[in-house]
């Protein structure tokens, strides 16, 4: 019996964003779950300094939380290179001034969160090199990364988004008082966020207007552009997975809910990734059929309005009146086995290995170039 050639998947992970370790954790999870009969993994780690290194599949298997410590990409590995070969895209290792271990790449899966990964930059590189890749294209990735541009696009599409103000570095420099007045006119509490952040890093909840300026300065440590959003107090936080369907409307998962155990807590970094008692994920969320239909429709409309490809997680607030609002759309949602996105799909009948295969197959099936 002849064996079908396996699909060679370049997994990219790590990266220069604040979510480096989370990305490594995800890469370990995917490496352990991906079907080895169908897929051959080529690991490309991006160090926190931005160097590209080749990480063998076997080494990736050990990327997990050990004693509360998250994995990182080591710098002392052979340099990895992606290139546009004569017969299609290739991956290689640089050995002095020559290339070694040159192999074709069928598809790239960038398990990168945040800027320089989830924001259209690496998607642009894949486009230039002619590499098929999992997930959203350049424009949708870039818009989805920036909480201001994202909300503008959603509002323009008629999607329900809460009030917010963006503060650019130029506005802050030229008229700080006006920026503070705009943001301070929102109802408190407000949430102050780095515009292109993720994993709740740099986000502050501000209850007292006197603390607003300090929270903005804190968020600016992570991104010179900041958004200030009106807080949804006492709202439920519900998230849905969406997957593209090449033949029709996107598929939407059952919802999951994030339950904070204390009233004024929010879903911060520790609550997201480290074992803590302050939060639990309920999958599937307990919602009545009317709300279920409503939020699934909203998730699908959000996915379509943002012209996302591949996958997205749509995060909603459901307020005390049962009205759903879009908080954000993530084009590369947390993707460890115990992250919300894989969990809601598992609850919907698509387990983690099948989810990975589905996303890679979607990427392989989609045309290159303008779509």
Ligand X SMILES: Nc1ncnc2c1ncn2[C@@H]1O[C@H](COP(=O)(O)OP(=O)(O)O)[C@@H](O)[C@H]1O
What are the residues binding ligand X (CB under 6 A)?
162, 191, 193, 197-200, 203, 229, 231-232, 237, 266-267, 315, 327-328
Q: Closer to ligand X at the Cβ: 204 or 310? A: 204
Q: Is 82 exposed, middle or buried (0-12, 13-18, 19+ CB in 10 A)?
A: buried
Q: Closer to ligand X at the Cβ: 25 or 31? A: 25
CB of 358 to ligand X, least distance (A): 24
CB of 15 to ligand X, least distance (A): 16
Q: Report d(CA 183, CA 98) in Å as an integer.
A: 55
Q: Closer to ligand X at the Cβ: 191 or 352? A: 191
CB of 266 to ligand X, least distance (A): 4
Angstrom CA distances, 8 to 53, 69, 78, 178, 335, stand at 17, 30, 19, 53, 20
CB of 235 to ligand X, least distance (A): 6
* Cβ proximity of 308 and 136 under 8 Å: yes
Q: Closer to ligand X at the Cβ: 82 or 316? A: 316
**Partner residues linked to 248 by β-bridges:** 245
Q: Which residues of 231-310 form beta strands (DSSP E)?
A: 236-245, 248-252, 256-260, 279-282
Rg (CA), the chain: 21
Exposure letters 213-227 (e unless 16+ CB within 10 A, then b): bebbebbbebbbbbb
Q: Closer to ligand X at the Cβ: 55 or 258? A: 258
CB of 190 to ligand X, least distance (A): 8
CB of 356 to ligand X, least distance (A): 22
Q: Report d(CA 158, CA 232) in Å as an integer.
A: 19
* Cβ proximity of 216 and 226 under 8 Å: yes
Q: Closer to ligand X at the Cβ: 223 or 315? A: 315
Q: Is 10 left (phi over 0), alpha (psi -120 to 50) or beta?
A: beta
Q: Closer to ligand X at the Cβ: 89 or 114? A: 114
* Angle between helices 352-365 and 20-33 in degrees, nearest 10: 100
**Partner residues linked to 335 by β-bridges:** none
CB of 350 to ligand X, least distance (A): 23
Q: Closer to ligand X at the Cβ: 90 or 119? A: 119
CB of 333 to ligand X, least distance (A): 9
Contact residues for 113 (Cβ-Cβ < 8 A; gap 6+)? 15, 17, 19, 22, 23, 26, 198, 199, 332, 334
| Sign of the CA dihedral running 251, 255, 256, 257 | positive
Q: Closer to ligand X at the Cβ: 179 or 199? A: 199
CB of 93 to ligand X, least distance (A): 35
């Amino acid at each position: 019996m002849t064996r079908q050639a396996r699909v060679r998947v370049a997994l990219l992970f790590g990266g220069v964003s604040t979510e480096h370790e989370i990305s490594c954790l995800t890469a370990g999870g995917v490496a352990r779950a991906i079907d080895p009969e169908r897929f051959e993994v080529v690991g490309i780690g991006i160090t926190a300094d931005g160097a590209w290194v080749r990480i063998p599949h076997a080494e990736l298997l050990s990327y997990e939380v050990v004693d509360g410590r998250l994995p990182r990409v080591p710098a002392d590995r052979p340099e990895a290179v992606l290139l546009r070969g004569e017969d299609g895209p290739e991956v290689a290792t640089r050995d002095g001034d020559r290339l070694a271990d040159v192999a074709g790449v069928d598809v790239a899966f960038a398990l990168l969160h945040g800027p320089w990964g989830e924001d259209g930059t690496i998607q642009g590189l894949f486009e230039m090199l002619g590499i098929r890749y999992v997930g959203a294209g350049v424009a949708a990735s870039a818009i989805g990364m920036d909480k201001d541009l994202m909300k503008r696009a959603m509002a323009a599409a008629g999607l329900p988004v809460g009030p917010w103000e963006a503060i650019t570095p130029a506005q802050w420099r030229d008229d700080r008082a006006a920026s503070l007045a705009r943001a301070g006119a929102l109802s408190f509490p407000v949430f102050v966020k780095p515009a292109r952040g993720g994993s709740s890093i740099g986000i502050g909840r501000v209850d007292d207007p006197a603390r607003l300026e300090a929270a903005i300065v804190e968020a600016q440590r992570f991104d010179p552009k900041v958004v200030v959003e009106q807080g949804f107090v006492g709202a439920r936080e519900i998230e849905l997975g969406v997957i593209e369907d090449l033949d029709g409307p996107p598929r939407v998962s059952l919802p999951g809910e994030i339950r904070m155990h204390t009233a004024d807590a929010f879903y911060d970094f520790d609550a997201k990734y480290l074992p803590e008692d302050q939060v639990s994920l309920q999958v599937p969320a307990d919602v009545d059929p009317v709300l279920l239909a409503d939020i699934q429709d909203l998730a699908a409309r959000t996915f379509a309005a943002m012209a996302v490809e591949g996958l997205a997680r749509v995060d909603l607030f459901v307020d005390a009146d049962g009205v759903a609002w879009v908080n954000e759309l993530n084009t590369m949602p947390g993707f460890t086995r115990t992250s919300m996105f894989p969990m809601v799909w598992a609850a919907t009948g698509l387990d983690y290995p099948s989810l990975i295969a589905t996303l890679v197959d979607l990427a392989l099936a989609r045309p290159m170039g303008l779509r």
